[in-house]
Structure 1
Amino acid sequence: MDAYDKGSNARPVPGEPEAAVPDSRPPEGQETSDGHETADDHGTPDSQGPPVGQTPSARIPQQYGDQQEQPYEGQQYGGQQYDGQHDDERYDDTALAGPPLPPPPAGIAALSLPYQIAAALALAVVAVAACVHVGMVFLHVAPSNTVTKQHGQAIDEWIYPEFEQNWKLFAPNPLQQNIAVQVRADVRAADGEIRTTRWYDLSALDGAAIDGNLLPSHTQQNELRRAWDFFVATHDNANRPNGLRGALSEKYLRRIVVLRLDREQAGGRGAVVQQVQVRSRTTNVPPPKWSQEQVSDKPIVRQLPWWPVSEADRAAGTRPGESTGTEASAR
């Protein structure tokens, strides 16, 4: 073993100067034992090995474009241990974009000021009307109190006949009857003869119009039925009115049946209805087979007296003076 090898393994003694280590590299420009020529001091930095006693990772960057090596996980770097978990945070440029833009306005806020004012007024009117309607319905179904006693007529005018309320659906025995409203009339034919028509089953006509109709109208479903219920509730068994609403219910039912007769052209084309007679035919709904309840299957008929028809009872366009000018002049 030569002196260089001995010196490379020896450790310096404290307090004594470090011995010079002889350079084992051949002089510049000379060939080595393997035939290669050594490089001078101005060669590339990578062609020279690291100084003795210094590891490659601790090498100081050189002047000519040498970059410091990327630290690996667990290595001491800049006084702190590198863990490799914050590389993305150092290159986070989202903060440069600034805060996100607010979303565009929606709903009423997206409209211009005049339209916002119009929409607010419309909503206010709808809200007030809804509150008034709910209040009227509540007073109508509520027990008798000071408000209903003093303003009962105004409440009834608001409710009847379109918004009438009742508790039949929640009664111990809901309606278990089929009620058919029928009407006949005395009409004046085009030749001036007075004749009586057959009975028209108006309930059956409404049922035929509803059958198979996915969106039946409120008129087809409830107009005639509610008119008859209104009449029965305001008349006794002798068909006498039991209050001020009796005359109103009679007029309402009469106008409905006259309109239906004109629609069906009762008595022929051009005939004019002079008076009408209404009756109801009530039959019980048969109980199910598993029930032991016994009900009568005999229909109950309630027939009203004849009502004369005035010009006010006729709908517009069906009055004798508005139907045909020749018929009006002949009469």
Structure 2
Amino acid sequence: MDAYDEEPEALSGPEGPAGARRAGNPGTPDEDSGSEHTESEETGRDRAAEPAPRAGLAALSPRYRLVAGGALAVVAAVAAVHLGMVFLSLAPANPVSKQHAKAVEGWVYPEFEQNWKLFAPNPLQQNVAVQVRAQVRGGDGEPRTTGWTDLSAEDGAAIDGNLLPSHTQQNELRRAWDFYGTTHGTDNRPVGVRGALAEQYVRRIVVLRLLRDEGLDRAGTIERVQVRSRTVNVPPPGWSREKVSTSPAYRVLPWWTVTGDETEAGAR
């Protein structure tokens, strides 16, 4: 009986059951895993505290960063000068390109020569006004000549302040006059097969404008019309040394006989 009574005590031992003693042992796997987890957290914090490696210019020493920055500034300045020189060589003649013509040519030619233009055609540097007058035969049978009517000024007044100007107001008269100028010489004689067409086009436009806007149909019958252009150079800016004449130059065309079809079309 005594032997059986001692077995439970031997199994439990002085510190309690064997299972409890193993769970509290410092060398057990549970305690080892906890220490490993703590070490990994400390390693992660150390890595996060370390600064990120530098790249690019920041990785260089201050002296080399200064040299690299200066080189980039020189490259940017040369590129800007090159673009400016090429722009001036392609742009229409202007006060800046004329003043620095030798420098532009020395930079561009022959290595960087371009075979195209920035604007086609060149922007206008003149104000061109198309004017017309008519010979009208009244009810008494006597002809009379009207004064000059500035059709371009009327178009300009209609466009000024108009958010949606019509294509006719902007381009019809201007394009018709350009068409006439390219198909006629300075003596007003046709230089191509489209000369007669250009003359007819301009004549129909001015007759229509006289009948519609000036009300000449009430004054009598339009028998003839005469067209002229008034050209004035745009003055250069105040800082430019360029000198241009601002006196108007006139190109007066001969009298044109108006046909019945043109007056009827204008009346409609």
Q: TM-score range by the shorter chain?
A: 0.5 to 0.7
Q: Any unmatched runs of 5+ in structure 2? A: 13-17, 21-29, 31-116
> Does the CA-based 8 Å contact 1:281-1:299 persist in structure 2?
yes
> Does the CA-based 8 Å contact 1:234-1:245 persist in structure 2?
yes
SS in 2 for 1:258: helix
Of structures 1 and 2, the one scoring higher in RCO (CA 8 A, sep 6+) is 2
> Does the CA-based 8 Å contact 1:277-1:304 persist in structure 2?
yes
2:187 counterpart residue number? 238
SS in 2 for 1:11: helix
1:203 counterpart residue number? 152
Structure that is richer in helix per residue: 2
User: Which AA in structure 2 matches 1:250?
Assistant: E
Q: TM-score, normalised by structure 1?
A: 0.45
How far the C-alpha of 1:196 sits from its partner, in A, is 1.4
1:314 counterpart residue number? 263
1:265 counterpart residue number? 214
Q: Of 208, 211, 232, which aligns to 1:283?
A: 232
Deviations 1:210-254 (A, max 9, x none): 001112121111110111011011111110001111001000100
Q: Of 245, 254, 263, which aligns to 1:296?
A: 245
Q: CA RMSD in A?
A: 3.2
Question: How many residues are aligned here?
Answer: 168
> Does the CA-based 8 Å contact 1:197-1:267 persist in structure 2?
no
How far the C-alpha of 1:190 sits from its partner, in A, is 4.6
Q: 1:170 to 1:292 in 2, by over 3 A?
A: farther
2:56 counterpart residue number? none
How far the C-alpha of 1:11 sits from its partner, in A, is 3.4
Q: How does 1:83-102 map to 2 (within 5 A)?
A: none
SS in 2 for 1:214: coil
Counterpart Cα distance in 1 of 2:137 and 2:118: 41
Q: Any unmatched runs of 5+ in structure 1? A: 13-52, 56-73, 75-166, 320-331
Counterpart Cα distance in 2 of 1:185 and 1:5: 146
Counterpart Cα distance in 1 of 2:159 and 2:229: 20
Counterpart Cα distance in 2 of 1:266 and 1:317: 11
> Does the CA-based 8 Å contact 1:182-1:201 persist in structure 2?
yes
> Does the CA-based 8 Å contact 2:212-2:267 persist in structure 1?
no
Counterpart Cα distance in 2 of 1:291 and 1:227: 33
Paired-residue identity, %: 62
> Does the CA-based 8 Å contact 2:208-2:265 persist in structure 1?
no
Counterpart Cα distance in 2 of 1:315 and 1:270: 15
SS in 2 for 1:294: coil
> Does the CA-based 8 Å contact 1:190-1:271 persist in structure 2?
yes
How far the C-alpha of 1:265 sits from its partner, in A, is 3.0
1:224 counterpart residue number? 173
> Does the CA-based 8 Å contact 1:184-1:197 persist in structure 2?
yes
Q: TM-score, normalised by structure 2?
A: 0.55
> Does the CA-based 8 Å contact 2:207-2:266 persist in structure 1?
no
User: Which AA in structure 2 matches 1:220?
Assistant: Q
SS in 1 for 2:158: helix
Counterpart Cα distance in 2 of 1:223 and 1:194: 30
User: Which AA in structure 2 matches 1:11?
Assistant: L
Counterpart Cα distance in 1 of 2:189 and 2:249: 19
How far the C-alpha of 1:6 sits from its partner, in A, is 5.3
